[in-house]
Structure 1
Amino acid sequence: MRSDREEIPEGFTKEDADKAEIAEAEMLKRRTMQRTSAQAAATDCMTYWPEWRYQVCGAIRVKYDSLGGPNNFLLWPTSNEIRNPDNVGVRQTFTNGPIYWHPSAGAHPVVNHFFAAWQRNGWEGGKLGYPTSDEIVNPDNIGRRQTFQGGTIYWRVNEAYYVTGAIRDKWNQLGPLPAERSFLGYPISDEVVLPGGQGRMNRFENGVIYWSPTTGAHPVSGPILDQWSRAGYEGSSFGYPIADEVAVQGASSRQQFQNKWIHTPVAHVALGSTGKSLSFGVPFGSQLAASSTSDTVLLQGPGFDLRFKRYTGGAVNMGLTLNSAQAPSEFRMLLGLPPGFSWMNTPTGIIFTAPDGSKLASLSNLLAFDSQGNAVAVNLRLSP
């Protein structure tokens, strides 16, 4: 017997191996007699030594054989073929994962992190449906992906998450292809249903994509995401993004939301030696013109000019000139302050502190003048 010549794999006995050899021989004989067409060859069953209790049949067997049979990562079968709850597809379990088959999707294994992501989203009965590919190594030779009827699961290093629908389409449009090479990077969350049940979002390594049926899908990242998140995301007075971020003159940027724009000057305040920085956002209901020099950013709005001047050592001075009666009497700044950092008002300005309480940077109080150069009172409100 084969068990007398070869080492029996761990978990099997000599009795198992001998029974499997007999069953394997019987099935090989039956296959030889019945193999009159390619169709017959694709539908008969096989036993794989030293497992004798379970047979692998049909399209699942063809896939299993193409992977190397028991010599592949799945190892041996641990069940016979099982009909899925939809009464259309079938599956079969193996030591390290299952193979699923559906008439319009084919037969594909789903294992490890991909299986975990698929499982938490309802297996084939959930949004993703059946697998339509095996695992695919991404061009970066680090990440992997697997496609399903309703979306794609991506894995990189630690965990796997799915992207689907309009959010996946938008991610693919950001370029360069493939999508994980875009500025957003890999997904780090599954698609999330937002409060109210209408909107959806996915988190990525470097930002988010938000979608709603009335606004479409748009990415939000960097300082604008910092400010929008601190305002309360789509539940804030800004609402959902209705356009992508746009670069404007002077290396500033802006993004339009349902109710306001967020304008981000490039005057960031370095927070000591932490490698983190404070970013500024100016929310207005209309567009602002932007320009900058090496140390100053100028935002021009209806009846006012707002300047940010950057100094060595992590300080920024804000200066305001009111040009007409149209200028607002109150200005609100959105601050992109990293978690754990804090700010406080002092008689001379605003001090930013590290989690340990040490001073890291400062922002002087708003200096406001009218068009004739006279100092005027303006209320500055900060939203961290």
Structure 2
Amino acid sequence: MIPHAARRPADTVRAAPRRRPAVLAAVTTVLAMTLGTLVAAPAQAADPRYFDPGNIIADEVFFDGGAMDVAAVSAFIADKGRSCRAGNDGTPCLKDYRESTWTRSQSGCASTYEGAANETAAQIIVKVARACGVNPRALLVLLQKEQSLVTASGSSLYATRYRSATGYGCPDTAPCASQYYGFFNQVYLAARQFRLYAANPTSYAHRPGTTNTVRFHPNAACGSSSVLIRNSATAGLYNYTPYQPNGAVLGGSPDGCSSYGNLNFWSTYTDWFGSTQSRFTVTGAVLELWASLGYSASPIGEPVGNLVTGLKDGGSFQPFRNGAVYSSPATGTHYVTAAYDVAWPTSRRENGPLGYPLTDPRPLRAGGSYQVFQGGAIYSSPVGGTRAVLPAVDAAWPPATRENGPLGYPTTDLLSTRDNASFQWFEGGGIYLSAHGTFAVPRAVDTAWAAGGRENGPLGLPTSAATRTSSGETRQSFERGLVVVLANGTAFTTTTSIAARWDAAGGATGSLGKPLSGSVALRGGAYQSFERGSVYSSTAGTFVVTPTVDAAWPPSSRENGPLGYPTSDAVTAPDGRTTQTFQGGIVTSAAGGPVLAVAAPVHAPWAATGGLTGSFGPPSSPFITGLRNGGGYQVFARGGVWSSPSTGAHAVSPAFDAAWPTSQRENGPLGYPTSRVFPLRDGGSFQAFQGGGIWSSPAGAYAVSAAFDAAWPSSQRENGPLGFPTSAAVRDGSGMTVQTFQGGRVVQAPGRAPVALTKAVWDAWQAAGGVAGLGVPTSEARGGLRNGGSFQTFERGGVWTSGAGSFAVTAAFDAAWPSSQRENGPLGYPTSAARTDASGRTVQTFERGRLVQASPGAQVVATLG
């Protein structure tokens, strides 16, 4: 029985040998009686749902003349005909068929067929395929479609099947033309005809690349439909057999208008060799998926290799030009495009963390798509490319509804960073994974975070998700601070301590107002500016600095200046004075008064006086610089502090200052103070200066110059015979500079060093006429004389002191005394001053006698007894 009924090919533009195309439905009762059974379903039909009338077979498949060699064709024929028996008339099975061929070279076939004696069917098929460039598989299918020669056996095998093996030259309404008889002739001419269809596409009724009207059946009443024929091979099949299957046959319920010719070609090829769209074999679930995608028109294109098995978990894959199809028992069969594969190989495909695909790619907004895998997903978009998203990252993405949320599509793969952390960036921010957890960082937060170097900057890694406050702010915590995004979208970085202080002040609506900048790292701390002040943080704590206080702080370069960091907030006392303490001082102001800083080096000596409530009281001036030798000073309510690089800073009380201005303070003889005030006996005190010192006692405070002090230490200063000073140094009418002390004076003659005089010596000197008498002193008092006595020389004599008192001895009297070894001689110490009576006689008594001058200018005579 012939399974395919003969039909007339469609009309062509130019005459061509007619063939009898196959029909899969009864045409008329008359035809059925004449031709036998005209309709028969394919012996092993592929799923007709995947039949594409516009692309029955790909050009590269149909015209692949070298797809099989003789051995392969022979093995195939032998396998299909393994149960074949020769026909009742002795017609041989195809595997046993032989024919002597002749050499032929005709237009349409690129190569010459070299004839040979006694060639097998396999040899003829392969040589024709190579000469004309038609796939030997297509020729085998054509032989089966037209005459069932590949599988015919026994009573169904007879000579006429070979005579019209490919149906070439067999019109529907007339016998087959005898000049085209013969197996070799049929195979060659059919192959040549398909090449002519392809070479002259506009010369035939069905044309590639255009929409054609294709009938469902030889009976025109059965109708037609428009088909976009997409390639030359499909156009050739329609020119050879001009019908397409109708919906009834494709749905599995053929009717009187159903034809099977080209469906049989497609089904047989698919059953025997796999996909008609590739020279590689595509079968089973892979074929079903590929067909559902549109074969070569699918996103993965045509196969570029055969199925590869042996993957993990019993899986397999087949490569395609633009991707691959992966299967496993647990995950099913899904395709992966080349674009998705870019993100998958980095994970070693099915052996990596993603595993096998669980879905095919699915479309998303804005031209994006995604595909789910066992261990995550891959997302593709025009803005971010194709990126894998692992479950750990995805856990922080769903709250933002993935690509439809604020983060949008991923724009990087998962990347590593410090401390075993990793991150992945998206259109609207990033997701960070670390020991602190997995957290999304929105774009608004990242804007401020990125300015500081993200995780490598001062804030470090995120430690919480971004949250929104009732006031409309967005906050996110990091290892060493946080980012605050205001309701208006402005973002700032801040430290944890600064943020806490800001919150304590009422946040954006509180006393500080909104931030004006992000937090700024400083030496050993940080600060942040707000609308109505700043917050400074250091090891000393975190405190607010108001603009009023800040106005007195910048001259000290803020935290880098003498004041350093704040150590308290500003505090207002009951009297209205506001004070803020700093590491190196304070800033203070009375109610309505100026804001003044007391900073190093002034602060320490001032604090030693008791600070604001101490003896000096609050400041009344800023620290004033520009004094000589780089010095400066600051005035307080009851005193001041002077400083210079070489002397340090020292407080000067009003009492001491009263003794200092007479010397023009630091510009006078005393210069800068070099010490604090030291307490002395009897309630006295002392302060050293560069050029001397100031001593204070109940008698008052007086400066003692370095020169006068040099004469005073020999008297142990205030602890010596002279005691405390009781006046300033004053120049008298004689040109002498004299400073009085409790127990004497220090005197300095012009051009001479100062000399200390006890009160007794001073009195004796004055009794002897002072400078006019003895002249100026020429030595310090010298002790160590007999019986604890002492003496002091002057220009014209001296003063001797003993138990009898202190008495001057003029040079004239001394000339008569030394010869007697002075106090060690017969006379001993003087016991009175020299006295002159009315007669001009001068007498001075001694312990054991006297010296007498009878008249002025007369010789002085010593008298004992």
TM-score range, shorter chain: 0.5 to 0.7
Matched, 1:291 2:508: yes
What does residue range 1-384 of structure 1 map to in structure 2 within 5 Å?
A: 9=59, 13=63, 15=65, 17-22=134-139, 46-49=273-276, 51-52=278-279, 54-86=280-312, 88-138=314-364, 140=365, 142-158=367-383, 159-174=385-400, 177=401, 179-197=402-420, 199-212=421-434, 214-236=435-457, 238-265=459-486, 279-285=491-497, 287=500, 288-289=502-503, 290-292=507-509, 296-297=513-514, 308-309=530-531, 319-320=533-534, 328=542, 370-372=570-572
TM-score normalised to the size of structure 2?
A: 0.31
The one-letter amino acid paired with 1:18 is: N
Contact 2:61 2:135 in 1 (8 A): no
Measure how far apart 1:370 and its partner are: 3.1
**CA distance 1:242–1:321, change in 2 (3 Å):** closer
Q: Secondary structure at the match of 2:135?
A: helix
The letter for the 2-side match of 1:210 is Y
Alpha-carbon distance between aligned partners in 2 of 1:88 and 1:27, rounded to the nearest angstrom: 36
Unaligned runs of 5+ in 2: 1-8, 10-15, 22-55, 68-133, 152-269, 517-526, 546-554, 558-567, 573-577, 584-865
**TM-score where L is the length of structure 1:** 0.64
Q: How many residues align?
A: 302
CA distance in 2, matches of 1:377, 1:145: 59
Deviation at 1:73, TM superposition (A): 3.5
**Can you list the C-alpha shifts for 1:47-79, whole angstroms capped at 9, x where unaligned?**
333644x21122212222222334434333221
Cα 1:11–1:57, aligned 2, differ >3 Å: closer, same or farther? closer
1:81-113 Cα offsets, whole Å, 9 max, x none, are 112553721111223221111111111111132
How far residue 153 of structure 1 moved from its aligned partner, in angstroms, is 0.7
Q: Distance in 2 between matches of 1:375 and 1:23?
A: 102
**5+ residue gaps, structure 1:** 33-42, 269-277, 300-304, 310-317, 332-346, 350-367, 379-384
- Give a deviation string over 1:175-194, Cα, whole Å, max 9, x none: xx3x1111111111112233
* Structure of greater Rg: 2
Change (3 A) 1:239 1:48: same
Q: Distance in 2 between matches of 1:87 and 1:77?
A: 23
Q: Secondary structure at the match of 2:494?
A: strand
Contact preservation (8 Å) 1:128, 1:148: yes
> Which residue identity does 2:275 align to in structure 1?
Y
2:496 and 2:456 map into 1 onto residues whose CA distance is 17
**Structure 1 residues 7 and 237: CA distance shift in structure 2, 3 A:** closer
Aligned twin of 1:312? none
Q: Aligned residues: percent identity?
A: 23
Paired AA for residue 433 in structure 2: W
Q: Which has the higher contact order (CA 8 A, sep 6+)?
A: 1
SS of match in other structure, 1:55: coil
Aligned residue for 1:228, secondary structure, equals: helix
Residues 84 and 188 (structure 1), Cα distance of their counterparts in 2 relative to 1, 3 Å cut: farther
Check whether the contact 1:114–1:160 (CA below 8 A) recurs between aligned residues. yes
Could you tell me how far 1:20 is from its partner in structure 2? 3.3
Question: Which structure has greater strand proportion?
Answer: 1
In 1, the alpha carbon distance for the partners of 2:494 and 2:534 equals: 13
| Stretch deviating more after TM superposition (179-188 or 18-27) | 18-27
More helix per residue = 2
Contact 1:207/1:220 (<8 A) preserved: yes
Measure the CA separation in 1 of the matches of 2:62 and 2:315: 30
Superposition RMSD on alpha carbons, in Å? 4.5
Distance 1:327 1:18, change over 3 A: closer
Deviation per CA, 1:260-306: give whole Å up to 9, x if none: 333445688xxxxxxxxx8432212463422339x95179xxxxx97
